[in-house]
């Protein structure tokens, strides 16, 4: 048989291929490029982190300062002994202009715009005493009104609040709310804006538009539920030099006591349209607005208003003397306003984010003649007590008459409110009360009530 050709001899050598793995030579250029890219990336991310930190630092610092009580409290200006205002931050005075037509002997030339009719008024007005035409006198008086309102109008702002999130994928919508306000105080770092507009709970950001149409981010200090007023602030560092020159600050009147026939000027949106100017007189000061633990005097004017009237009242010196009250009744067609003298303590609380002291009492001052017939010198008649309030918990009832707090007599709601707001939260005060018994006799009761915050 022949040999099987597929069988190899035992001593036949096998040939193997050997592969050697060698290290790739170092590419210095490539290593340098990678190192450079890492370095540039590190610098870029470092700058981003530093920018984010610099942007967030003021917010965190401010919140920390507020929480720790390191932010200086702002105090509104007070009147000196001679009745002149002592300005703590920045003096803002408008020259006094008498609106009585019989007192003018001066002549002047100026150009204004009649914002009601859109008519340009430019001519020598002359002396009001020389003109006998009633229409000419009216035109000249209105120009004088515009002259007084010229600087305060530069303090008017529009406030826009946004809520919701914008997402192009699900086409969600941002909700806008608009209000208006006026700059009334300037500190070393902020300007403060008073507005009779309440941002809703869903409002996530606030923006202010100034007289020169520039905008800035605003921050809410606090809102007063009773009056519907809010105070906001804007950092002056976020305002350009041109904006700072374009705006003004209108001071709150120091000790204005409204009287009948007192001339007042309404600015803001007194007729429902922004930047309107109307004027008239105070016809009554007997209006009242009751709130928990407070009663506000209302100035009733002869100025025609509407249900959307907003803004402030200024006097002939250009100072704020009242804040126009929201009109919730269509049958009331004249402008009513809160007296700024009574609002000042609450405004100061809002600036400093201090919660108002609260007992939950609605009361009215008892007239002197009625008090005498009841055998008491003075007092406050309680019309209503809030449910689950500190006053209710202490046993205070509707129909009670408060005669004294901690032994100090109180004659009206203004004295009561001032005393209460000066109390510390949690303080227990003694309240002296006259109360009718079941047999109709007026007896005396003393109750202890604990001051709370609202």
Angle, helix 340-351 to helix 413-421, in steps of 10 degrees: 20
DSSP per-residue string spanning 225-242: TTT--EEEEEEGGGS-HH
At 173 the pLDDT is 53
> Residue 438 contacts by C-beta under 8 Å, 6 or more apart in sequence?
none
Phi/psi at 450 (nearest 5 deg)? -95, 125
The C-alpha atoms of residue 403 and residue 381 are separated, in whole angstroms, by 9
Give the residue among 294, 282, 372 at the shortest CA–CA distance from 321: 282
Q: CB–CB of 298/336 below 8 Å?
A: yes
Hey, which residues does 385 pair with through a beta bridge?
Answer: 361
At 153 the pLDDT is 96
Kindly give the parts of the chain with pLDDT less than 50.
1-3, 5, 14, 67-70, 79-128, 168-169, 171
At 107 the pLDDT is 33
At 86 the pLDDT is 43
At 175 the pLDDT is 65
The C-alpha atoms of residue 393 and residue 294 are separated, in whole angstroms, by 19
Give the residue among 272, 282, 274, 350 at the shortest CA–CA distance from 313: 282
At 97 the pLDDT is 37
| pLDDT, tens only, 16-30 | 555 555 555 556 667
Verdict on whether the full-model pTM lies above 0.85: no
């Amino acid at each position: 048989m022949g040999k099987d050709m597929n069988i190899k001899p035992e001593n036949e050598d096998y040939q193997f291929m050997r592969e050697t793995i060698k290290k790739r030579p170092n590419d210095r250029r490539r290593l340098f490029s990678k190192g450079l890219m890492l370095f540039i990336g590190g610098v870029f991310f470092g700058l981003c982190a530093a920018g984010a930190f610099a942007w967030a630092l003021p917010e965190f610092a401010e919140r920390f300062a507020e929480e720790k009580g390191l932010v200086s409290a702002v105090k509104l200006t007070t009147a000196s002994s001679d009745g002149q205002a002592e300005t703590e931050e920045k003096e803002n005075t408008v020259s006094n202009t008498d609106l009585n037509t019989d007192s003018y002997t001066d002549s002047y030339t100026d150009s204004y715009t009649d914002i009601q009719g859109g008519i340009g008024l430019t001519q020598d007005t002359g002396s009001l005493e020389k003109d006998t035409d009633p229409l000419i006198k009216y035109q000249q008086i209105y120009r004088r009104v515009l002259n007084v309102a010229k600087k305060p109008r530069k303090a008017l702002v529009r406030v826009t609040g946004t809520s919701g999130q914008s997402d192009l994928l699900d086409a969600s919508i941002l909700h806008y709310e608009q209000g208006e306000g006026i700059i009334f105080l300037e500190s070393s770092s902020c300007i403060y804006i008073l507005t009779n507009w309440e941002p809703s709970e869903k409002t996530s950001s606030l923006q202010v538009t100034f007289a020169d149409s520039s905008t800035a981010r605003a921050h809410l200090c606090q809102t007063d539920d009773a009056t519907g007023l809010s105070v906001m602030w804007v950092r002056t560092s976020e305002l350009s030099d041109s904006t700072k020159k374009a705006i003004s600050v209108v001071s709150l009147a120091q000790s204005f006591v409204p009287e009948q026939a007192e001339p007042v000027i309404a600015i803001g949106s007194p007729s429902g349209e922004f930047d309107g100017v109307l004027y008239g007189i105070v016809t009554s000061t007997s209006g009242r607005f009751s709130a928990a633990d407070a009663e506000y005097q209302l100035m009733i004017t002869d100025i025609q208003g509407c249900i959307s009237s907003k803004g402030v009242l200024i006097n002939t010196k250009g100072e704020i003397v009242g804040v126009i009250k929201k009109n919730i009744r269509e049958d009331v067609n004249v402008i009513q306003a809160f007296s700024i003298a009574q609002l000042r303590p609450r405004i100061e609380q809002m600036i400093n984010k201090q919660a108002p002291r609260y007992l939950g009492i609605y009361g009215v001052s008892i007239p002197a003649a009625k008090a005498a017939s009841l055998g008491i010198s003075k007092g406050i008649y309680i019309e209503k007590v809030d449910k689950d309030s500190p006053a209710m918990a202490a046993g205070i009832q509707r129909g009670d008459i408060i005669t004294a707090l901690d032994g100090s007599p109180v004659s009206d709601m203004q004295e009561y409110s001032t005393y209460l707001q000066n109390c510390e939260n949690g303080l227990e005060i003694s309240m002296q009360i006259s109360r009718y018994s079941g047999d109709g006799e007026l007896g005396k009761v003393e109750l202890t009530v604990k001051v709370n915050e609202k």
